[in-house]
Amino acid sequence: MTKKSGPAGWQEITTGSVVLRPGSASEYHTGSWRAQRPVWNNSKCIQCGICYIFCPEGCVAQSEDGYFKANLDYCKGCGICAKECRPGAITMVEEER
């Protein structure tokens, strides 16, 4: 039986889930584990940008027609955009699995 090799101690274990290079977070799609996703109703949207301002992930962007939407590759489904939307143009819906 061969002996398994590995780190000699905990100090030598590579830390996971850490962004080591500035600007590299965009390489990691993190939206796959959310339970809910935001859906915009553009007929209610007044294009104020509050959803864009309050999004903690920075995944809400304005499209060419002036309306906003979330990049679901990075959206965590926190619901802050929907909570802050005064006209109620954003609703959170259950993610289909």
Q: Mind listing the pLDDT tens digit for each residue in 29-74?
A: 888 889 999 999 999 999 999 999 999 989 999 999 999 999 999 9
State the pTM of this model.
0.73
CA 58 to chain centre: 7
Instruction: Indicate the burial class of 20 (C-beta count within 10 angstroms; 0-12, 13-18, 19 or more).
Output: exposed
As beta bridge partners, residue 70 has 60
Helix locations, the chain, DSSP H: 50-54, 80-84
